[in-house]
A and B are shown apart, each in its own frame.
Chain A
Amino acid sequence: MGTLYITQDDSYLGKTDERLTVRANKQTLLDVPLIKVDGVVVFGRSTVSPAVVIELLERNIALSFLTHTGRYLGRLEPELTKNIFVRAAQWKAIAPSEPALHLVRGFIRGKLKNYRNALLRGLREFPELSLQPALTRLEQAIAPIDTTHTIDSLRGLEGSGSAAYFGSFDALIRAEGFQFTHRNRRPPTDPVNALLSLGYALLRHDVQSAVNLVGFDPYLGYLHTQRYGRPSLALDLMEEFRPIVVDAVVLSAINRRVLSPENFETEPLSHAVSLTLEGLRSFLRLYEQKKQSKFKHPVLQTQCTYQEAFEIQARLLAKYLMGETEKYPPLVLK
């Protein structure tokens, strides 16, 4: 099982028998059995045949559209599962409520602790780095989380923790030609930000699929408030995964020199930076490898892939909301 990434502009997605084919310039680029596909992400322009649309919907396979620079546009969503019980519990917990507060704490704690662990890992590898001030600020943001009682103040803690982490992110970058000063997006104007934005867009496709599979209403979140057309719950659940999936892939792409500055191009005027087609393909390979790599899930104590962990966390979230577990355990990895 895996996600199919379509990077070739003006390609055509068709279906022959039980197989999905991708063609461009009169050539078949890809021919895979549908049974092996669990998600499709299209970059830029592609024609998707009606037969493929029907097949994806029937097989519950989500199809997301990103611009060719990796900005998220939208998706073709299979019908939500009929899990009205999970959705009822989800709506019942709407803020202000103790469960909403508990969940927001979990999402933020998960994210900030994973930020902290990423910096600690950096420090173990390169003890000469001056990461201590950032680690201290992160600790100061983490410590009061469980005794903070409003979602707005929790957002404040998240903000200062993230600022501390991204303030030191540059130190984790160990390759010539790449720097990071601050997080920018829409459009990202340097390679590192371009990679982070792209990674988060890919993560969103995956986490939203997991949230839908479990039966949630993706548009009702707790940390991210409702705004028209925003899958708030998917964004909530993404938080804990940002550092351990996306940031880790970005750092290894750069530090292992899978990508070099030549893999990026800058648009005139807007200064938007994005990957070249070749760079994009390398990055997607790394991201997919990361998703399929295994680790021991600290809650369940069993081996799983990151891809499976998206669904496990969504199921644990449902179990908490349904009153089956006493807390929501964010995924925190050392």
Chain B
Amino acid sequence: MDDYIPIAALNQYAYCPHRCWRMFCLGGFIDNQYTIEGTSLHDRVHTVGENQREEIWQIRAIWLKSDQYHLIGKADLIESGNGRWYPVEYKRGHVGEFENDALQVCAQALCLEAMTGKPVTLGYLYYAQSHQRQPVEISTELRQKTIAIIEKVRHLLETGDMPPAIYSSRCQGCSLYEQCLPKAADKVKRYREA
């Protein structure tokens, strides 16, 4: 399969597989925008809005890619200091679905490793509302979890098989509720026509 898995799909999947299906199988989210030309980090570092701050290199809005895991996605910020590269993922609100967000950082780390050839052991989540930077250790456990989710998402994208919509507390905050109607199956069953 030539299609790469959008990193953004991973935490959607972790949130709700049905939501992931709606976003990435149904709506044509995966468009050709994800096919990027070979990205070499060292080529980009001097050309994409970088700035130097206490010997830390920053590159914003950069495409990350891993051929091994067939992953692709745009990173908000990549930094480098002491010869190490690490991803910083921006989140609008407060510390929320930390688990899901950590998956995304880990997936970015996997890409960074592929692109730099160096191990990435640390990443950050930056929560805009509280200006907090939360370290994310790219542990073996997190890697395994991430790789397992990548496999599930790959399977989902390849087959298009719809995971069932199962009502849970997460549905209340889900922007796709009106399309998904997760309670419909139950309510249809109980409906008696007048």
Q: Give A residues with C-beta under 8 Å from B.
A: 81-85, 109-110, 113, 117, 215, 298-301, 312, 315-316, 319-320, 322, 324-327, 329-330, 332-334
Contact = CB atoms under 8 A, between A and B. Distances in A.
13 contacts: A81-B27, A117-B194, A298-B191, A298-B194, A299-B191, A300-B183, A315-B179, A319-B188, A322-B162, A324-B162, A324-B185, A329-B188, A329-B193
Contacts of A332: 193-194
B27 A325 contact: no
Nearest to B21: A85
Contact of A82 (B28, B187, B188, B193): B28
A78 to B, nearest CB: 14
- Most chain B beta-carbon neighbours within 10 Å: one of A299, A322, A327: A299
B77 interface: no
Interchain residue pairs A-B with the least CB separation, the first 10: A82-B28, A325-B188, A332-B193, A299-B191, A332-B194, A329-B191, A325-B185, A334-B194, A329-B188, A83-B26
A109 B193 contact: yes
B194 A315 contact: no
Interface string B22-44: 00011110000000000000000
B26 A82 contact: yes
Contact of A113 (B26, B165, B179, B194): B194
A52 B142 CA distance: 50
Nearest to B179: A315
A319 B193 contact: no
B194 A300 contact: no
B179 A324 contact: no
Main secondary structure on B side of the interface with A:
loop
B194 A299 contact: no
B193 A300 contact: no
Contacts of A316: 181, 184, 188
Interface size class of B (residues with CB under 8 A): 10 to 19
B46 to A, nearest CB: 37
Contacts of B183: 300
A113 B188 contact: no
Nearest to A311: B178
B165 A301 contact: no
Given A81-B27, A85-B26, A85-B160, A113 B193 contact: yes
B164 interface: yes
Contact of A85 (B162, B185, B187): B162
Interface in B1-56: 25-28
A334 B192 CA distance: 12
A96 to B, nearest CB: 24
A299 B26 contact: no
A118 to B, nearest CB: 12
A86 to B, nearest CB: 8
Interface in B166-194: 179, 181, 183-185, 187-189, 191, 193-194
Interface string B76-117: 000000000000000000000000000000000000000000
A275 B83 CA distance: 79
A326 B185 contact: yes
B194 A326 contact: no
A82 B162 contact: no
A215 B27 CA distance: 10
Given A81-B28, A300-B181, 16 more contacts: A82-B28, A83-B27, A84-B160, A85-B26, A113-B193, A298-B194, A299-B191, A300-B184, A300-B187, A312-B181, A316-B188, A319-B181, A319-B184, A325-B185, A326-B189, A332-B193
Nearest to B192: A298
A161 to B, nearest CB: 15
A38 B28 CA distance: 22
Contacts of B179: 315
Contacts of A322: 162
Contact of A324 (B25, B26, B184, B191): B184
A327 B193 CA distance: 12
B188 A299 contact: yes
Given A113-B193, A322-B162, A299 B28 contact: no
A301 B187 contact: yes
A110 B191 CA distance: 13
Contact of B194 (A312, A324, A325, A333): A333
Contacts of B187: 299-301
A46 B23 CA distance: 38
A99 B88 CA distance: 50
